[in-house]
Copies of this chain bind each other. A is one copy, B any other.
Amino acid sequence: MGPRLKGFKKLTSVDDALFLFLKELKPTRLGVDYVPINEALERVAAENILAPNDLPRFDRSAMDGYAMKANDTVEASEFKPKLLKLTRKDSVNKGEATQIWTGGMLPKGADAVVMLEHTRKAEGGMEVLAALTPGENISKRGEDVRKNEIVAKAGIRLLPQHLGLLAGLGITHINVARKPKVALLSTGSELVEFGQKPKLGQVINANQLILSAMCKQIGAEPVNLGLARDQLDEITRRIGEAVKQADVVITTGGTSVGHADLVPIAVNKLGKHGVIIHGIAMRPAMPTALAIVQGKPVFILSGYPVAAMVGFEVFARPTILKLSGIEDEPRPVLKAKLTRRVASALGRRVYLRVYVFEKEGEFFAEPIRTRGSGVLSTMTKANGYVVIPEDREGLEESETVIVHLFNKIGGK
């Protein structure tokens, strides 16, 4: 393979790289935040949350109507109505009925509710026009959730309905997983910060903004550390500081085996474990390196934005999720037909950007023509990616592929 290896002696497969890295790192949920439930949307439950009581807390009516004893309505019908005495007490005796609204607490002694539509006003009370069975039109206490039932499992991301259930149960605060802090450092003497005017030959750093946004999307907290020049001492010092203040460190740039291969060298100067994997059998993101410094993961990503994104997706994302207490959170997938043949190199796993669209009820995936991993517009033109495995030399036209979606169908 010679030149295609770009100086790497040996490339590790994606699966081996992630497996070996996670085996060393052993990432587990970080600390816990105790938050009010109205701030807990999409946070991760840090432990199983149990119901402190039944929900509903009492038997209640499922209808607008009248509560009574079902036994008082035996054989009642439109032609043979049963007359009941109306009462306003909070209990019902034999021969009595009391008006009740949807959601209202069932009065003592009552065991059924008749709908308004099955009643008729009558002198001395009201007439029931239908026979009821005990429990009819009643929501029983505990019907939704029973006391001590698990209402949210540890490790789930809390959705609107979880919050509603917690509120209904009277829970106001819960423990959620602390958000991992992810320090982002971009290396490259040619870079200027977003917002600065580049001189000729300078490049505005896009990676920090991209990775910061990708962190936010999975509920992590980005810490932007700005730029470092291509200088070993500076990079070493900056990564050393980053490891102290964050749970995860991500660098971009300086991973090729040329002059700028400073980041892996810098990381190795910071002690155990240092770089665990460098050079991965994938495209893009081949020069990615995975490291551990003082027990914290350090992802050394390419300076090319598309390669940085793929490196984040494949290695940083699952690690950060585990630190958030989430075992796994796959993107939505979809089966689609490939619109044209795509070639790939045997022995590399390829992350192919595709644009999925629907036509006559069928989904199609159109490969985006790439011109290198620096071409970020290929990521805005795509709405998903397809993985071409290492043992394939490409994909055929009309082949059914699994697309991992990062944008909606038709979205671009």
A344 is an interface residue with CB less than 8 A from chain B: no
Known contacts A101-B258, A139-B371, A157-B407; 16 further A-B pairs (Cβ under 8 A)? A3-B115, A57-B203, A62-B374, A103-B203, A103-B374, A151-B377, A159-B407, A160-B309, A161-B210, A161-B305, A167-B209, A168-B203, A168-B376, A172-B195, A330-B409, A333-B334
Distance in angstroms from A349 CB to nearest chain B CB is 20
Q: Are B217 and A377 in contact (CB under 8 A)?
A: no
Mark contacts of A267-295 with chain B using CB atoms, 8 A cut-off: 1 yes-contact digit, 0 otherwise. Answer: 00000000000000000000000000000
Distance in angstroms from A157 CB to nearest chain B CB is 8
Closest B residue to A57 by beta carbon equals B198
How many Å lie between the Cα of A309 and that of B3 in the bound state?
A: 58
Q: Are B303 and A160 in contact (CB under 8 A)?
A: no
Q: Are B334 and A332 in contact (CB under 8 A)?
A: yes
**Can you report 9 residue pairs joining A to B where beta carbons are below 8 Å apart?**
A2-B117, A3-B117, A103-B203, A103-B303, A164-B207, A165-B376, A167-B194, A167-B204, A330-B409
Distance in angstroms from A409 CB to nearest chain B CB is 7
Query: Looking at the complex, which one of B162, B200, B213, B406 makes contact with A58 (CB distance below 8 Å)?
Result: B200
How many Å lie between the Cα of A197 and that of B217 in the bound state?
A: 35
Name the B residues within 8 Å of A157 (CB-CB).
407, 411
Which residues of chain A from 232 to 271 have any CB-CB distance to chain B below 8 Å in the complex?
Answer: 256-260
A116 is an interface residue with CB less than 8 A from chain B: yes
A124 is an interface residue with CB less than 8 A from chain B: no
Name the B residues within 8 Å of A161 (CB-CB).
210, 305, 309, 376, 379-380
How many Å lie between the Cα of A93 and that of B159 in the bound state?
A: 64
Given A64-B259, A117-B7, A376-B165 in contact, is the A170-B197 Cβ separation under 8 Å?
yes
Q: List residues of A whose CB falls within 8 A of some B CB.
A: 2-3, 6-7, 37-38, 41-42, 56-58, 62, 64-65, 101-105, 115-118, 139, 143-145, 151-153, 156-157, 159-165, 167-170, 172, 188, 190, 194-195, 197-198, 200-201, 203-207, 209-214, 216-217, 256-260, 303, 305, 309, 329-330, 332-335, 371-372, 374-377, 379-380, 405-409, 411-412
Name the B residues within 8 Å of A62 (CB-CB).
372, 374
Name the B residues within 8 Å of A65 (CB-CB).
258
> How many copies of this chain sit in the oligomeric assembly?
2
Distance in angstroms from A49 CB to nearest chain B CB is 11
Query: Looking at the complex, which one of B144, B153, B206 makes contact with A168 (CB distance below 8 Å)?
Result: B206
Q: Are A206 and B374 in contact (CB under 8 A)?
A: no
Q: Are B118 and A371 in contact (CB under 8 A)?
A: no
Distance in angstroms from A331 CB to nearest chain B CB is 9
Q: Are B139 and A374 in contact (CB under 8 A)?
A: yes
Q: Are B188 and A103 in contact (CB under 8 A)?
A: yes
Name the B residues within 8 Å of A64 (CB-CB).
256-260
Q: Are A209 and B408 in contact (CB under 8 A)?
A: no
How many Å lie between the Cα of A330 and that of B332 in the bound state?
A: 13
Query: Looking at the complex, which one of B56, B104, B209 makes contact with A163 (CB distance below 8 Å)?
Result: B209
Q: Which of A209, A260, A305 has the most CB of B within 10 A?
A: A209
Q: Are B168 and A412 in contact (CB under 8 A)?
A: no
Closest B residue to A3 by beta carbon equals B117
How many Å lie between the Cα of A168 and that of B203 in the bound state?
A: 7
Distance in angstroms from A170 CB to nearest chain B CB is 6
How many Å lie between the Cα of A217 and that of B409 in the bound state?
A: 18
Distance in angstroms from A85 CB to nearest chain B CB is 20
Given A58-B201, A161-B380, A200-B105 in contact, is the A117-B6 Cβ separation under 8 Å?
yes
